Structure 1
Amino acid sequence: MEDYVPLSVLRMVYDSSRKLYSLRIMASIRPSALAEITSVFAKHNINILCIELGARSTSDERGTAFLVVDFTKSAMDVEQIIKELEGLPSVLEVKLMDPSIPGLIIDTGHFPLIIGPWRGIIFRVEFSSTLSKALGEN
């Protein structure tokens, strides 16, 4: 296993041949919460393609999970799964983030980017070097 693995901050999946959905789940932070949530997907043969977890601070009592899930091999529909998730003791809220184009999932729920207490912005390396040169000329 490699010591370092690149992190893609572009959260996007496209496959028009699959039944893809993205969900944002707010849940209580407790030891079994993630296991409860993921077991619903496993039970119904739903593949989790991406999961992003987090809380704003260590003192938060709730956290958010962003998931990209593939229902292609499942007999369930997304509304049935949402109802089942909402019935879990740790789940506070489930939001379906509808794709504007079938099969295209873009994470629009994680904005703005923050770095500690500050808002952040990410530039491609090529852009930042061009910006640096332009600022140096002024």
Structure 2
Amino acid sequence: MEDYVPLSVLRMVYDSSRKLYSLRIMASIRPSALAEITSVFAKHNINILCIELGARSTSDERGTAFLVVDFTKSAMDVKQIIKELEGLPSVLEVKLMDPSIPGLIIDTGHFPLIIGPWRGIIFRVEFSSTLSKALGEN
């Protein structure tokens, strides 16, 4: 196993041949919450392509999971799965982030980017060096 694995912050998935959806799930923070949620997907043959978990602080009693899921091999409808998820003891809210183009998932739920207590912006290296030069000239 490698010591370092690159993290893509693009948060975009596209495959027009797949039935892709993204969900944002608000849940109570407790030891079995993640297992309850992922077991629903496993039970219905739904593949989890991406999962991002987090709470704003260690004292939070609830956290958010952002998932990109693939329903291609499942007989279930996304609305049926949402209803089942909403019935779990840990789940407080489920939001379907409908793709505007079938097969295209863009994570619009994680905004703004927060780095510690500050809002952040990410630039490509090429842009930041150009910006640095432009600011130095003024």
Q: TM-score, normalised by structure 2?
A: 0.99
Provide the rounded CA distance (Å) in 2 between the counterparts of 1:98 and 1:75. Answer: 19
Corresponding residue SS for 2:72: coil
Provide the rounded CA distance (Å) in 2 between the counterparts of 1:56 and 1:9. Answer: 19
Identity %: 99
Across the two proteins, how many residue pairs are aligned to each other? 138
1:51-100 per-position Cα deviation (integer Å, ceiling 9, x unaligned): 00000000000000000000000000000000000000000000000000
Query: Unaligned regions of 5+ residues in structure 2, if any?
Result: none
Provide the rounded CA distance (Å) in 2 between the counterparts of 1:69 and 1:137. Answer: 47
Provide the rounded CA distance (Å) in 2 between the counterparts of 1:125 and 1:7. Answer: 15
Deviation at 1:108, TM superposition (A): 0.2
The equivalent residue for 2:135 is 135
Deviation at 1:32, TM superposition (A): 0.3
Q: Within 5 A, what are the aligned runs for 1:1-138?
A: 1-138=1-138
Deviation at 1:42, TM superposition (A): 0.1
Q: TM-score, normalised by structure 1?
A: 0.99
Q: Output the aligned Cα RMSD.
A: 0.4
